[in-house]
């Protein structure tokens, strides 16, 4: 039924109209190699247009957000191990420093001495002193927490016999305390597993709720020293499932590829449509008028066409600056000569046809002859050039971004992401560069298939040779 309805709809299109001269051959020759290439190209382009329009609904994450741990492989939920010391602390526990051989209190424990293993530590000089620490910056992205705990190390030479640390744990910012642990081992790490203590989640292990109260205790209650060389929280959580993994910052590669479709298609559309809008009318006018004006335009266009495309676009991009619109305009400059040359060559043939002579003999104005008769016949060749130049525009835009001349960071862009990840392939992190490169290849192949297929179908000389 759908096929019959489509056939009826196509049959209503006049065969000699602009659309009819493309649609009818596409349907009639759909079983030939050229027809199949054209329809494969159309399907690929339609798929990318759908992605560009609905990327906001399809993408599982914000392409700019740090969605997960960095360098998560594709097709997997990877366990993410975190081990971070605290950032914030308060209490009556003094940090001390050695001044002329004398340990002198210099202030409350805050970060420094007990944040790293440096054999200095932060010292309490009497039992009853305490410190409360939090803000471990574990950066838990998902509630699927598999393990939680803490690690502590007491210095042997600055912790007196009989003195120990009593550590209390809180999951609600210190309003309630779940359990306490006595740490008596000195000179080595002590790791305490808190996994079964409660149902840990991203909210209970965040920077404010996950807290520890460290109290200086003594068996005899006598004065003495207790020195904490390191205190940190540990956690293991299962990452989200990522179809294409995450990049070096923790952004979802799949989401960036989807949104990058918008960027690439926008640059391509600006480049080829503006080039068409400029090059096609110039080619029409120059080819029909001829004379010195035509020679000057041909000289200018041939000079522009002789420059290497990527180099010329890069030069224009440097002058215009970064951004989607500016890069699209830089790409435009490459293809104006292409549309001009193709259009002009078609016009030179069409203006000698009998129907043009008949229009002149009937007294038609030159503008009517150009736009009503010549343009309507010449424009059929434009879709072929349009498809091929669009494929090249995608590669040019990606190349400019790869060289740092394209869009601004952190805009989702295939060339930009490919450039950022290319140096990490040697480290085994292949996915953050493979997938942006892969979609560039797929889209350019689809556009090339459409261009080559249309050229074989529409070009009457090739059709004649084939038959």
Counted residue by residue, the chain has a size of: 467
pLDDT of 460: 57
pLDDT higher than threshold 70 for residue 228: yes
Give helix then strand counts, H and E, for the chain.
14, 12
pLDDT higher than threshold 70 for residue 190: yes
Residue 427 burial (C-beta neighbours within 10 Å; 0-12, 13-18, 19+): exposed
**Where residue 102 falls among pLDDT bands split at 50, 70, 90?**
low
Which residues on neighbouring strands pair with residue 138, listed in sequence order?
A: none
| pLDDT tens by residue, 70-86 | 999 999 899 999 999 99
Query: Among 14-23, 207-216, 250-259, 288-297, where is mean pLDDT lowest?
Result: 14-23
- Cα–Cα distance for residue pair 212/133, rounded to 1 Å: 5
Pick 389 or 21 by higher pLDDT.
389
| Mean pLDDT computed over every residue of the chain | 85
pLDDT higher than threshold 70 for residue 424: yes
Q: Was domain 8-64+246-466 assigned CATH 1.10.3720.10?
A: yes
Query: Among 218-227, 243-252, 324-333, where is mean pLDDT lowest?
Result: 218-227
Q: Which residues contact 101 (CB under 8 A, 6 or more apart)?
A: none
Q: Average pLDDT of 411-431?
A: 90
pLDDT higher than threshold 60 for residue 95: no
pLDDT higher than threshold 50 for residue 111: no
Whether the CA torsion 296, 301, 307, 313 is positive or negative: it is positive
Pick 9 or 315 by higher pLDDT.
315
Of 230, 109, 228, the residue nearest 158 (C-alpha): 228
Look up residue 391 and give its DSSP letter: H
pLDDT higher than threshold 90 for residue 180: yes
| pLDDT tens by residue, 269-304 | 999 999 999 999 998 888 888 888 888 988 988 888
Query: Among 89-93, 210-214, 230-234, where is mean pLDDT lowest?
Result: 89-93
- Contact call for residues 262 and 443 (beta carbons, < 8 A): no
For the domain made up of 79-238, give the CATH fold.
Answer: Jelly Rolls (2.60.120)
Q: Mark 189-204 as b/e (b = at least 16 C-beta within 10 Å).
A: ebebebeeeeebbbeb
pLDDT of 381: 78
| pLDDT tens by residue, 113-138 | 788 888 888 888 888 888 889 999 99
Q: Which residues contact 23 (CB under 8 A, 6 or more apart)?
A: 10, 13
How many CB atoms are closer than 10 A to CB 341?
18
Domain boundaries, the chain: 8-64+246-466, 79-238
**Where residue 456 falls among pLDDT bands split at 50, 70, 90?**
confident
Side-chain-side CA neighbours of residue 209 (13 Å): 13
């Amino acid at each position: 039924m759908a096929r019959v309805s489509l056939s009826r709809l196509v049959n209503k299109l006049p065969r000699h109209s602009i659309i009819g001269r493309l649609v009818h051959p596409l349907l009639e020759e759909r079983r030939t190699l050229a027809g199949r290439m054209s329809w494969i190209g159309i399907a690929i382009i339609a798929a990318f247009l759908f992605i560009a329009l609905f990327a906001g609904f399809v993408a599982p994450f914000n392409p700019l957000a740090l969605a997960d741990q960095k360098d998560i492989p594709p097709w997997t939920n990877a366990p993410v191990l975190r081990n971070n010391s605290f950032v914030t602390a308060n209490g009556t526990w003094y940090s001390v420093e050695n001044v002329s051989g004398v340990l002198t209190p210099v202030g409350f424990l805050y970060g420094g001495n007990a944040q790293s293993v440096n054999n200095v530590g932060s010292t309490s000089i009497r039992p009853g002193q305490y410190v409360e620490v939090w803000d471990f910056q574990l950066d838990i992205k998902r509630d699927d927490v598999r393990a939680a705990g803490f690690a502590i190390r007491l210095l042997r030479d600055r912790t007196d016999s009989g003195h120990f640390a009593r550590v209390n744990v809180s999951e609600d910012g210190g309003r309630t305390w779940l359990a306490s642990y006595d740490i008596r081992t000195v000179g080595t790490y002590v790791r305490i597993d808190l996994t079964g203590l409660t149902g840990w989640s991203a909210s209970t292990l965040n920077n404010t709720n996950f807290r520890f109260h460290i109290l200086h205790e003594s068996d005899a209650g006598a004065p003495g020293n207790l020195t904490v060389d390191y205190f940190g929280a540990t956690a293991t959580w299962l990452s989200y499932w990522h179809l294409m993994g995450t990049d070096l910052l923790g952004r979802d590669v799949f989401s960036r590829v989807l949104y990058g479709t918008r960027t690439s298609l926008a640059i391509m559309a600006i480049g080829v449509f503006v080039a068409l809008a400029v090059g096609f009318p110039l080619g029409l006018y120059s080819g029909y008028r001829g004379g010195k004006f035509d020679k000057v335009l041909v000289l200018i266009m041939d000079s522009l066409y002789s420059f290497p495309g990527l180099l010329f676009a890069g030069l224009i991009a440097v002058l215009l600056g970064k951004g989607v619109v500016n890069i699209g305009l830089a790409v435009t400059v490459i293809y104006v000569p292409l549309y001009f040359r193709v259009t002009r060559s078609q016009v030179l043939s069409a203006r000698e046809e009998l129907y043009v002579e008949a229009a002149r003999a009937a007294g038609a104005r030159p503008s009517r002859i150009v736009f009503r008769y010549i343009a309507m016949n010449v424009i059929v060749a434009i879709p072929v050039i349009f498809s091929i130049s669009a494929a090249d525009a995608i590669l040019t835009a990606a190349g400019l971004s790869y060289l740092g001349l394209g869009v601004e960071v952190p805009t989702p862009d295939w060339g930009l992401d490919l450039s950022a990840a290319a140096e990490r392939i040697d480290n085994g992190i292949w996915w953050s560069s493979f997938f942006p490169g892969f979609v560039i290849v797929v889209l350019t192949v689809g556009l090339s298939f459409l261009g080559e297929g249309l050229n074989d179908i529409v070009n009457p000389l090739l059709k004649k040779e084939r038959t």
